[in-house]
Amino acid sequence: MAKIALITGISGQDGAYLAKFLLKKKYKIIGTVKKSSKSSYWRLERLGIKKKLTIEKMDLGNLKDIDKIFKKYDFNEVYNLAAQSFVNKSFNIPIATSNITGLGTLRILEIIKKNNRKIKFYQASSSEMFGRVLNSEQSETTPFNPQSPYAISKVFSHLITKNYRNSYKIFATSGILFNHESPLRGKEYVTRKIIIGLVKIYKKKLKSFQLGNIYAKRDLGYAKEYVVAMWKMMQKKKPKDYIISTGKTYSIKDFINLATAYLKLKTKWVGKGFNEKLILKKTNRPIITINSNLFRPSEVSALKGNSSKAKKDLKWSPKTNLKKLVKIMIDEELLHS
C-alpha cells in the first residue's frame, strides 16, 4: 500500500520540492497550508504537481485543528515544514512566530503521542539556531546561540522533538538545514531578492535596489537536493539529527558578484559601509545601494556546516556548487519574469 505523508507548509519552497520527490516515490500526499492568509500555489503549479496533491487548511496554532487532520488520514510520515520563517519579520511579530514556529511543533507531537506513536516525524530545524556561532564550523554537537525570535523558536522545536523521541520512543528526527536556495525561494530572502533585482536590471525594467548587510556569510545549498536528505533521515532504523549543508561559506557580496558575472553585467564596487554601492560601468550609475534599515537588530554573521554525519549515515552529499546554483536561479528568473 502507498505510504501516506503529511507535509505542513506544502506551498513553501521545501514543501513543493519534497512533495514532488515523494510523488515519484509513490507516496499519497496530504499538504497543509495556513488558514488565515490567501495561500499561493505558484510553486506547486510550476512543478506541475498541484493536481496530484490533497490540500487541507490547518492552523498550527490550534490543537483541535491538527487533531482533526490526524483523525481524517492515517499518516505514515509527517514532515513539519510550516513556520513563520522570515528572520526579520520575527523581530516584529515575536509572539506569533513563537506560537507557530515553536509551539506548533509541540502541538503536532502531542497529537502523535495521543493518537498514534508509530507515525514518523520530521522537524525542519535550521542553521539559524547556531546564531552567533560558537565554532567556526557547525556540526550536530555545536551549542546553539540563537539571535532572533525565529531562531529561538526553532531551538525550542528542535529540543522538544528530541524530548519526544527520548521520552515516548516516537520516531522523531530533525534535519538542521543550512540556507538552501532555488528558483522557488521566497522573494523576501536575500538570494532571490538579488536574482529578481539583477534580472530586472538586466532587462532594463529596474534602475536599482537596496540591500542590508552584504558581509553576512552563509552556507548556501540547492533546496531540491536538501529535501532528499529529509526523506533519507526518515527511512533510517533509528531517528537522529543531521546537519545538511555544503561545508562552504560565501558572503552576500560574493553571491552578487557570481550573479553579475553570469549575467555579464560589468560592474564595480565603490565606497565603504552604508555608502558602498555597486556601479554599472556602462551608465556609471549605482544598481545596488545599502540601506541601514535593512540591517537586523541582531545579526548572524557567518554560518558553515559540517555534514559529514549525513554523508556517512545517509549517503547524502550536496551536488550543486554556488556558481551552478546562481545559474539555475537566473535561468529560471529570465524565463518567468
CB of 299 to ligand GDP, least distance (A): 6
The residue among 300 and 325 lying less far from ligand GDP, judged by its C-beta, is: 300
Binding of residue 128 to ligand GDP (CB under 6 A): yes
Q: How far apart are CA 19 and CA 211, in angstroms?
A: 32
User: HSE (CB half, 13 Å, CA atoms) of 327?
Assistant: 5
Q: Residues 108-127 vs ligand GDP: string with x where CB under 6 A?
A: --------------------
Q: Decide if 223 contacts 14 (C-beta within 8 A).
A: yes
The binder of ligand GDP chosen from 28, 113, 277, 296 (CB under 6 A): 296
Task: From 4-12, 93-101, 103-111, 210-218, give the range in contact with ligand GDP by CB under 6 A.
Answer: 210-218
Q: How many residues lie near ligand GDP (CB under 6 A)?
A: 19
Binding of residue 22 to ligand GDP (CB under 6 A): no
Phi–psi pair at 126, nearest 5 degrees: -135, 145
Binding of residue 153 to ligand GDP (CB under 6 A): no
The residue among 56 and 128 lying less far from ligand GDP, judged by its C-beta, is: 128
Task: From 39-47, 71-79, 98-106, 208-216, give the range in contact with ligand GDP by CB under 6 A.
Answer: 208-216
Binding of residue 218 to ligand GDP (CB under 6 A): yes
Q: How far apart are CA 92 and CA 145, in angstroms?
A: 20
Binding of residue 93 to ligand GDP (CB under 6 A): no
Binding of residue 83 to ligand GDP (CB under 6 A): no
Binding of residue 154 to ligand GDP (CB under 6 A): no
The binder of ligand GDP chosen from 4, 39, 196, 212 (CB under 6 A): 212
Q: Decide if 222 contacts 318 (C-beta within 8 A).
A: yes
The residue among 88 and 321 lying less far from ligand GDP, judged by its C-beta, is: 88
Which grid cell sits at 329? 536561479
The residue among 254 and 332 lying less far from ligand GDP, judged by its C-beta, is: 254
Task: From 14-22, 68-76, 205-213, 258-266, give the range in contact with ligand GDP by CB under 6 A.
Answer: 205-213
Binding of residue 180 to ligand GDP (CB under 6 A): no
Binding of residue 87 to ligand GDP (CB under 6 A): yes
Q: How far apart are CA 46 and CA 131, in angstroms?
A: 33
CB of 115 to ligand GDP, least distance (A): 32
The residue among 5 and 155 lying less far from ligand GDP, judged by its C-beta, is: 155
Binding of residue 190 to ligand GDP (CB under 6 A): yes
Residue 149: CB partners within 8 Å, gap ≥ 6? Answer: 90, 91, 94, 97, 98
Residues that bind ligand GDP (CB under 6 A): 87-88, 128, 179, 188-190, 193, 211-214, 216, 218, 252, 294, 296, 299-300
